[in-house]
């Protein structure tokens, strides 16, 4: 099985390479090998490599900056996906594409299911929804949320740094979802490939949290592991207390039940995976 992974240097791309099955012949690329805004070069590379599976872990993810760079976000999150679909169709392969909870408006009263209506409220969300629209029914679309990994640029590592520097910090407490460890997401993606899945799936780690809840857990786990010397005071903030250029969904919990059913796995709580990630972070020094 020939597999092309985009976004190779990112959190998910790295995790996908680290958990790849033995039979996968991996080619992993990042912007140095191919600029996704160059549709001709992207198409030429895919046609040349002739992958059976294209795992697209690349994305424009600067949510706030996308408000002023929507054209660039569109090029990477939507136009490049359309190019991938066209090229992989010519090769006879399939695309596995990763999207986001930001395609929803956050007004639901239950966890979002794969078939729920989208209504993005940010430029980032709009461009990711447009990328979804480029896919074929035979492709795999996985929406996820709040992704983090050891060594990456993410909320967990930012919090650990700030907790070392400050005695007090404020974190938004009225945006609800669930964190996702990149390693667990990568295993799910490989599971969907292995079971020859098609269509739309949701995945985040089990449980529910606000960003404030997540920060409190990070403090407790990081302190237990000796990554921070003391637990700082963490104040809950409202979204209005912490205004940002992009609007964010207030509630974006994803229903992962059908995904677990498809690949035969049991949910793992986000705090369990947070602890594993922080142990990896500890080992990195």
Give residue for tokens 């990896």: 280
Quote the pLDDT of residue 285. Answer: 75
pLDDT tens-place string over residues 93-124: 999 999 999 999 999 999 999 999 999 999 99
Give residue for tokens 């920060």: 215
Domain total in the chain? 1
- Average model confidence (pLDDT) for the chain? 97
Q: Is it the case that residue 263 has pLDDT exceeding 90? A: yes
Quote the pLDDT of residue 32. Answer: 87
124 is catalytic: yes
What is the CATH number for 270? Answer: 3.40.50.720
| Active-site hit among 60, 112, 124, 212 | 124
Give residue for tokens 């292995």: 194
Average pLDDT score over residue span 132-150: 98
State the residue range of the domain holding 251: 2-284
pLDDT tens-place string over residues 165-193: 999 999 999 999 999 999 999 999 999 99
**Percent of the chain topping pLDDT 70:** 100
pLDDT tens-place string over residues 190-223: 999 999 999 999 999 999 999 999 999 999 999 9
Buried b (16+ CB within 10 A) or exposed e, 114-142: bebebebbbbbbbbbbbbbebbeeebbbb
Count Cβ atoms within 10 A of the Cβ of residue 166 and give its class: 0-12 exposed, 13-18 middle, 19 or more buried: exposed
Quote the pLDDT of residue 208. Answer: 98
How far apart CA 96 and CA 102 sit, in angstroms, is 18
């Amino acid at each position: 099985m020939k597999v092309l992974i985009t976004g190779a240097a990112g959190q998910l791309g790295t995790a996908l390479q680290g958990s790849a099955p033995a039979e996968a012949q991996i080619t992993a690329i990042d912007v140095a090998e191919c600029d996704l805004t160059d549709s001709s070069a992207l198409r030429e590379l895919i046609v040349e490599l002739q992958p059976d599976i294209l795992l697209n872990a690349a994305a424009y993810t600067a949510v706030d900056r996308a408000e002023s760079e929507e054209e660039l976000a569109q090029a990477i999150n939507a136009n490049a996906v359309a190019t991938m679909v066209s090229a992989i169709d010519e090769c006879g392969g399939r695309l596995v594409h990763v999207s986001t909870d930001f395609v929803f408006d956050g007004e639901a009263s239950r966890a979002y299911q794969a078939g729920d209506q989208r209504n993005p409220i940010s430029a980032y969300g709009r461009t990711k929804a447009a990328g979804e629209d480029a896919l074929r029914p035979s492709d795999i679309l996985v929406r996820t949320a709040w992704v983090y990994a050891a060594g990456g640029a993410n909320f967990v590592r930012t919090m650990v740094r700030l907790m070392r520097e400050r005695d007090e910090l404020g974190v938004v407490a009225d945006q609800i979802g669930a964190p996702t460890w990149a390693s667990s997401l990568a295993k799910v993606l490989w599971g969907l490939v292995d079971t020859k899945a098609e269509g739309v799936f949701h995945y985040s780690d089990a449980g529910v949290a606000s960003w404030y809840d997540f920060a409190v857990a990070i403090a407790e786990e990081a302190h237990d592991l000796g990554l921070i010397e003391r637990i700082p005071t963490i104040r809950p903030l409202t979204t209005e207390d912490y205004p940002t250029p992009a609007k964010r969904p207030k509630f974006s919990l994803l229903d992962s039940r059908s995904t677990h059913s498809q690949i035969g796995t049991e949910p793992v709580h986000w705090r369990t995976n947070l602890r594993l990630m922080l142990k990896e972070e500890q080992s990195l020094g």
